[in-house]
Amino acid sequence: MGIIEKLRLDGKKALVTGGARGIGYSIATALAEAGADVAIVDMDEAAAKEAAEKIAGATGKKAIALKADVAKKPEVDGMIESVLKEFGRLDTAFCNAGICKNIPAEEMSLEDWQKVIDINLTGVFLTAQAAGKVMIKQGGGSIICTASMSAHIVNVPQPQCSYNASKAGVVQLVKSLAVEWALKNVRVNSISPGYIGTDLTLSSPVLKPFIEKWNAMAPLKRLGRPDELQAMAVYLAGDTSAFTTGGDFIIDGAFTCI
């Protein structure tokens, strides 16, 4: 069997949180194109349904839509139960849901701080924990978490201490889970994107003024595209990456090198 065939995900079952748009949608599409059935999880149920229909129509794979708040354990547990009911197993969990608040540290309320941590870090833990329990019972699986280059550098000029701290936490959480679950055949890795030109980023009146500054600083002088993260996600989801766990894969156009 050649390397291309080995990278296929035929027969595998996956879920993607925050999968209705942006990076999550792009990754869910790639997993389905590689052969996996996919559950699209999002707070926006209508958007999740639309995304699932598009993916199913384009790939011929089964794609379902689920609504869940990853910061709430009962909803995460219900999400996993729904996936198992529909698919019978779970091979890949892509923990992607996240938010960012650009607020100066001295002005940030505890509520704003907690909201970011609850979704970006606690939500990743709850999703990984629930998925990990299933994977341990079934004999293995792959968990992939969206971290960020913000785990390694302080982004400027936007003030986002809560986001940066949450993503640094994700990287260390991934390493911890990878070590704990290594002998249980559950692999845990993270992808750390740089600035990615999602529809939301490109249309956001808050972020638009920053884009020119980001591009001026970037070695490649541009934003990344969501599809430029797809190959790494497919690799980590499949059996070809059996010796790859505890890694944080920075895909940032060399931004963190400067």
Question: Active-site residue among 25, 67, 167, 190?
Answer: 167
Reference 232, options 202, 193, 181, 195; nearest CA is 193
Torsion of CA 74, 80, 81, 82, to 10 degrees: 110
Question: Active-site residue among 26, 142, 148, 190?
Answer: 148
- For residue 124, give both structure tokens: 């990743």
Reference 237, options 13, 1, 20, 4; nearest CA is 13
Question: Active-site residue among 25, 163, 195, 235?
Answer: 163
| 148 part of the active site | yes
Q: Are 105 and 159 in contact (CB under 8 A)?
A: yes
Q: Are 71 and 118 in contact (CB under 8 A)?
A: yes
| 241 part of the active site | no
Question: Could you tell me where the DSSP H helices lie in 34-152?
Answer: 45-59, 73-87, 110-117, 123-138
Classify residue 2 by its DSSP letter.
Answer: -
| 195 part of the active site | no
Strands (E), the chain: 13-17, 37-42, 63-67, 92-95, 141-146, 186-193, 248-251
Q: Which residues are catalytic?
A: 148, 163, 167
